[in-house]
């Protein structure tokens, strides 16, 4: 939406004027219909071929999505995710040899409550999205953001699956699929009866007024747009992962394109998310364990997608977001976007340069992330980047912060035991656990210490919470999980002297949880 300049700047007019003389670079026969980048003019047919091939190549190269697997497409209604949806549709309709073989479903999260939209307005948007999804014939789930308040604390725990040799198991899965193929043949038309039954459950759930208010209260406690966007991103991701789990999907497909990822890469550095750059921008994001998030659109620029959608009439819906109609300097994310997009106009390799640099960062940190399974951030579920040596930049930041800081942070202040509700119920082991899940901030008085949210968050998520005036409206599942983790670390601390060595400490604790 913000890429209008970049998308159409001279691209649709100039080729028309010069196309009479220009031939397509690829087939060298047909007249070129568009200029993808200087020196690369393509005809309609070749452009479509190029676009479709890119999508299939991205999935084929990574071999992560198995045949017959249920994949949840996160569609925001925007051009990029709608182009992704279109590619999946195309892929399923192709002839047997080239066909995509997974089973797609679609999810849309309605964030209208944060924009103060009326119920009518939200219903209108949802109806628009619903009709868009209905055309695909895939099962779809339209979920209001308020549903995030009903999530269980288990969302925040990555589920670890036994990992075999991925390449070997992929081949096995393909062979198995081919053998049982006649039964499972993934023709969208055949599956439709089964799908339509599922679709019934996808009508927008009834949203209680109180839940909308709670969510609005939460966001009104956030002082900056930067932190609001970050918090929204976190909550949205939790909701997506939870939906995938409850509906039986094992992959989550995100529509982030190359331009988006280049912006994200730079914005993440500015936000202090350097440690998570690789996972955030890589094709495959394994941080949730059982639900793997993949980004098949990451090789497309926003321009390519817009041209494709325009030429092939791919439907998409304009849906305003928190960033819509805000000034360039209103948030770090917005400023980075405007910086990259404006630079891209005059220097067309800006996006690809940033993106390729990101590619190089990946490998090392991603493998490192999978191998060790240390503490994860409560919000973004990335490995905690705060357990660093005394000479790290992080410690230096903390020291200078301490020196210039007066007063307590909202994280500590609002969670002192004396401000918490105490349930008075006996809190023994399993009962206590369930009980605490129901009562958000209760039972934390057990150790008598204030709850320390800070120690459970990565550096960047800490900054987001620091931008909040209070954390009392954070969803219950987050608070309950925070309580649980705090209790666990407290127990670990209490029994620490009975533990033999640093290494034998973690397994013994893990066994009892």
Which spans of this chain sit near Zn ion (rule: CB under 5 A)? Answer: 24, 26-27, 30, 43, 46, 377, 379-380, 458, 461
Estimate the share of the chain in helix, then strand, then coil, as percent rounded to the nearest 5.
55, 10, 35
To the nearest whole angstrom, how small is the minimum distance from the Cβ of residue 235 to Zn ion? Answer: 13
CA dihedral 261, 263, 266, 272 (to 10 degrees): -80
To the nearest whole angstrom, how small is the minimum distance from the Cβ of residue 34 to Zn ion? Answer: 11
Cβ proximity to Zn ion: between 300 and 379 the closer is 379
Burial class of 165 by CB neighbour count within 10 A (0 to 12, 13 to 18, 19+): exposed
Cβ proximity to Zn ion: between 51 and 379 the closer is 379
Cβ proximity to Zn ion: between 24 and 261 the closer is 24
To the nearest whole angstrom, how small is the minimum distance from the Cβ of residue 469 to Zn ion? Answer: 20
Cβ proximity to Zn ion: between 122 and 376 the closer is 376
To the nearest whole angstrom, how small is the minimum distance from the Cβ of residue 31 to Zn ion? Answer: 9
Cβ proximity to Zn ion: between 231 and 436 the closer is 231
Structure tokens at 468: 């909040």
DSSP code per residue over 67-109? TT-EEEEE--SSHHHHHHHHHHHHHHHS-TTT---SEEEEEEE
To the nearest whole angstrom, how small is the minimum distance from the Cβ of residue 453 to Zn ion? Answer: 11
**386/115 Cα distance (integer angstroms):** 34
Which letter, b or e, does each residue of 255-289 get, where b requires 16 or more Cβ atoms within 10 Å of its Cβ? Answer: bbbbbbbbbbbbbbeebbbbbbbbbbbbbbbbbbb
Residues 206 and 142: beta-carbon distance below 8 Å: no
Task: Find the DSSP H helices in 94-208.
Answer: 119-134, 166-179, 181-184, 188-199
Cβ proximity to Zn ion: between 249 and 379 the closer is 379
Cβ proximity to Zn ion: between 244 and 461 the closer is 461
To the nearest whole angstrom, how small is the minimum distance from the Cβ of residue 241 to Zn ion? Answer: 15
Rounded alpha-carbon distances, angstroms, from residue 163 to 62, 167, 169, 291, 456: 16, 11, 10, 13, 27
Cβ proximity to Zn ion: between 46 and 92 the closer is 46
Query: What is the CA 436 to chain-centroid distance, rounded?
Result: 28
Cβ proximity to Zn ion: between 82 and 478 the closer is 478
Burial class of 448 by CB neighbour count within 10 A (0 to 12, 13 to 18, 19+): exposed
To the nearest whole angstrom, how small is the minimum distance from the Cβ of residue 324 to Zn ion? Answer: 26
To the nearest whole angstrom, how small is the minimum distance from the Cβ of residue 386 to Zn ion? Answer: 9
Cβ proximity to Zn ion: between 319 and 377 the closer is 377
Looking only at the bridges linking them, the beta strands covering 70-74 and 140-144 are unpaired
**229/336 Cα distance (integer angstroms):** 13
Which letter, b or e, does each residue of 39-55 get, where b requires 16 or more Cβ atoms within 10 Å of its Cβ? Answer: eebbbeebbeeebbeeb
DSSP code per residue over 338-355? HHHHHHHHH-TTHHHHHH
To the nearest whole angstrom, how small is the minimum distance from the Cβ of residue 36 to Zn ion? Answer: 12
Query: What is the CA 289 to chain-centroid distance, rounded?
Result: 14
Cβ proximity to Zn ion: between 240 and 380 the closer is 380
Residues 81 and 255: beta-carbon distance below 8 Å: yes
To the nearest whole angstrom, how small is the minimum distance from the Cβ of residue 377 to Zn ion? Answer: 3
To the nearest whole angstrom, how small is the minimum distance from the Cβ of residue 22 to Zn ion? Answer: 11
Residues 78 and 342: beta-carbon distance below 8 Å: no
Structure tokens at 364: 């090392």
To the nearest whole angstrom, how small is the minimum distance from the Cβ of residue 379 to Zn ion? Answer: 4
Cβ proximity to Zn ion: between 231 and 441 the closer is 231
Looking only at the bridges linking them, the beta strands covering 103-110 and 140-144 are parallel
**465/387 Cα distance (integer angstroms):** 18
Structure tokens at 204: 């927008």
């Amino acid at each position: 939406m913000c890429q209008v300049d970049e998308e159409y700047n001279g691209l649709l007019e100039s080729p028309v004027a010069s196309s009479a003389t220009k031939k397509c670079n690829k087939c060298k026969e047909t007249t070129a219909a568009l200029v993808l980048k200087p020196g690369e003019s393509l005809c309609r047919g070749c452009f479509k071929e190029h676009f479709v091939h890119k999508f299939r190549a991205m999935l084929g190269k990574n071999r992560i999505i198995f045949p017959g697997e249920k994949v949840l497409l996160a569609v925001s209604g925007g051009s990029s995710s709608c182009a992704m949806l279109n590619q999946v549709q195309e892929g399923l309709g192709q002839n047997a040899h080239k066909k995509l073989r997974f089973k797609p479903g679609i999810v849309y999260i309605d964030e209208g409550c944060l924009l103060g939209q009326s119920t009518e307005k939200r219903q209108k948007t949802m109806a628009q999205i619903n009709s868009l999804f209905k055309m695909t014939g895939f099962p779809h789930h339209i979920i209001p953001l308020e549903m995030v308040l009903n999530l269980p604390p288990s969302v925040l725990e990555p589920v670890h699956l036994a990992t075999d040799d991925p390449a070997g198991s992929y081949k096995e899965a393909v062979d198995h699929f081919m053998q049982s193929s006649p039964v499972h043949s993934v023709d969208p038309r055949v599956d439709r009866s089964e799908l339509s039954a599922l679709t019934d459950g996808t009508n927008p759930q009834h949203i209680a007024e109180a839940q909308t208010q709670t969510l609005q209260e939460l966001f009104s406690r956030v002082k900056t747009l930067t932190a609001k966007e970050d918090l929204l991103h976190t909550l949205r991701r939790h909701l997506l992962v939870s939906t995938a789990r409850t509906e039986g999907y094992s992959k989550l497909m995100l529509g982030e394109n190359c331009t988006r990822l280049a912006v994200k890469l730079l914005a993440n550095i500015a936000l202090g998310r350097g440690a998570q750059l690789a996972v955030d921008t890589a094709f495959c994001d394994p941080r949730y364990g059982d639900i793997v998030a993949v980004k098949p659109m990451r090789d497309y620029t926003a321009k390519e997608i817009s041209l494709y959608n325009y030429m092939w009439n791919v439907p998409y819906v304009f849906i305003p977001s928190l960033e819509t109609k805000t000034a360039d300097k209103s948030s770090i994310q917005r400023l980075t976007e405007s910086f990259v997009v404006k630079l891209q106009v005059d220097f067309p390799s800006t996006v690809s340069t940033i993106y390729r640099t990101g590619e190089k960062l990946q490998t090392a940190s991603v493998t490192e992330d999978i191998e060790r399974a240390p503490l994860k951030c409560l919000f973004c579920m990335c490995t905690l980047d705060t357990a660093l040596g005394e000479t790290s930049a992080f410690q230096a930041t903390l020291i200078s912060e301490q020196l210039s800081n007066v007063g307590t942070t909202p994280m500590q202040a609002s969670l002192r035991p004396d401000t918490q509700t105490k349930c008075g119920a006996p809190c023994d082991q399993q009962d206590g656990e369930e009980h605490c899940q129901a009562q958000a901030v209760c039972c934390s008085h057990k150790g008598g210490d204030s709850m320390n949210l800070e120690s459970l968050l990565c550096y960047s998520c800490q900054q987001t919470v620091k931008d909040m005036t209070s954390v009392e409206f954070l969803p219950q599942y987050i608070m309950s999980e925070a309580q649980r983790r705090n209790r666990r670390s407290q127990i670990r601390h209490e029994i620490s002297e009975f533990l033999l060595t640093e290494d034998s400490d973690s397994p013994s604790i893990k066994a009892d949880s």
